[in-house]
């Protein structure tokens, strides 16, 4: 059975109803979360981050996802020093001010360890703990981990989007990474899985992942899905990133219908309303 509760360090969260994970991207080239938290001189502005987090919490966010590496297709890799300098002070400042679970969007073992020390409660890795030392670093924190499927690297992922059978490949990959995490002594009920919408996949693959999300339930892990503002929505609607809210909500709603437990989003308020409507319908079902 998939767990119904996550122990995220000193805080616990229930998975009895779906959770909203709010994106806080602290890269200077942040493209789609509206806020840039850097001054004209390139200095990270902690008060700007904290004001944004406060607003997201007022809108009903359950988890704050802090990332300092741009995983945008074709993005330039960030150095370890820059990633640490972006992410660690932000996690510390959020946890000092708010009682909220912070997830850290990273792949590097050094960032995993220091983020946990700074108060992070979830490790969110688009590389599914594949970097050397990442499994051991994550296991050492005893925190929940999110393992995501990506084809290739952010630099190369859209260059090869051919699969024999995308769904089967993603499923087999996640099953393999779940096995690797278990073998590294990460507890089974500390593993979240994510099919990686938009990471090295075509529009048709991305749609099939949502339509057939139910197929991942046999792995008995809570499912996390990130569709917010992604380019498949832009292609279908022919709309720029700031006009993709309705498309994002439709895909997020279908993900909930298929049993997703965590939605990673930019637009917290509208997503929280959608989740409340989904919950109301869900509770009414069969009556
Ligand atoms: C440019 C393109 C910038 C895409 C950022 C992105 C996911 C994630 C991201 C996801 C999990 C974004 C993505 N996407 N982590 N990190 N699942 N677990 O839209 O789908 O934020 S980065």
Instruction: List residues bridging with 265 in a β-sheet.
Output: 22
- Residue 71: CB within 6 Å of ligand 1? yes
* pLDDT, position 35: 57
Q: Which of 226, 247, 268 to mutate to test the pocket of ligand 1 (most atoms within 8 A of CB)?
A: 226
* pLDDT, position 253: 98
Among protein residues, the one whose CA lies closest to atom 14 of ligand 1? 226
163 contacts 169 by C-beta, under 8 angstroms:
yes
153 contacts 73 by C-beta, under 8 angstroms:
no
CA distance linking residue 16 with residue 285, whole number of Å: 16
> What are the pLDDT digits (tens) for 205-223?
999 999 999 999 999 999 9
Regarding pTM above 0.75, the answer is yes
> Which residues, including other chains, have CB under 8 Å from residue 190's CB and lie 6 or more apart?
3, 6, 7, 142, 143, 144, 145
Top CATH class, 17-72+79-282: alpha beta
Q: What is the DSSP letter of 190?
A: G
CA distance linking residue 77 with residue 85, whole number of Å: 15
Instruction: List residues bridging with 24 in a β-sheet.
Output: 66
* pLDDT, position 38: 86
| CB atoms near residue 151 (< 10 Å) | 21
Domain ranges of the chain: 17-72+79-282
Residue in 108, 127, 229, 230 annotated catalytic? 230
Q: Per-residue pLDDT tens, the chain, 287 aa: give them.
A: 899 999 999 999 999 999 999 999 998 865 555 557 988 878 888 999 999 999 999 999 999 999 998 776 667 788 999 999 999 999 999 999 999 999 999 999 999 999 999 999 999 999 999 999 999 999 999 999 999 999 987 777 778 888 999 999 999 999 999 999 999 999 999 999 999 999 999 999 999 999 999 999 999 999 999 999 999 999 999 999 999 999 999 999 999 999 999 999 999 999 999 999 999 999 999 88
Q: What percent of the chain has a predicted confidence (pLDDT) above 90?
A: 84
Give the dihedral sign, CA 244/248/251/257: negative
Among protein residues, the one whose CA lies closest to atom 5 of ligand 1? 72
The reply to whether 264 belongs to the active site is yes
The reply to whether 230 belongs to the active site is yes
Residue in 151, 177, 229, 264 annotated catalytic? 264
Q: Which of 19, 30, 107, 126 to mutate to test the pocket of ligand 1 (most atoms within 8 A of CB)?
A: 126
């Amino acid at each position: 059975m998939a767990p119904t509760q996550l122990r995220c360090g000193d805080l616990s969260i229930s998975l009895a109803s779906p959770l909203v994970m709010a994106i806080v991207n602290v890269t200077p080239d942040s493209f789609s979360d509206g806020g840039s938290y850097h001054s004209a001189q390139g200095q990270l502005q902690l008060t700007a981050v904290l004001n944004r987090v406060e607003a997201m919490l007022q809108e009903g966010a359950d988890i704050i996802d802090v990332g300092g590496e741009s995983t945008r297709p074709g993005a330039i890799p960030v150095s370890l020093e820059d990633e640490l300098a972006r992410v660690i002070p932000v996690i510390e400042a959020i946890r000092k001010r708010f009682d909220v679970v912070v997830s850290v969007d990273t792949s590097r073992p050094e960032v995993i360890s220091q983020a946990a020390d700074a108060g992070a409660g979830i490790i969110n890795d688009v590389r599914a703990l594949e970097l050397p030392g990442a499994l051991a670093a994550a296991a050492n924190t005893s925190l929940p981990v999110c393992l995501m499927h990506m084809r290739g690297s952010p630099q190369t992922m859209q260059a090869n989007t051919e699969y024999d059978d995308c769904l089967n490949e993603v499923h087999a990959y996640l099953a393999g990474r779940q096995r690797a995490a278990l073998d590294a002594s990460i507890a089974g009920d500390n593993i979240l899985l994510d099919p990686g919408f938009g990471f090295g996949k075509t529009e048709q693959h991305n749609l099939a992942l949502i339509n057939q999300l139910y197929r991942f339930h046999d792995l008995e892990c809570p499912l996390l899905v990130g569709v917010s503002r992604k380019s498949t929505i832009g292609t279908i609607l022919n709309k720029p990133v700031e006009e993709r809210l309705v498309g994002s909500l439709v895909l997020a709603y279908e993900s909930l219908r298929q049993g997703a437990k965590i939605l990673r989003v930019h637009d917290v308020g509208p997503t929280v309303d959608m989740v409340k409507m989904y919950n109301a319908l869900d509770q009414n079902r069969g009556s």
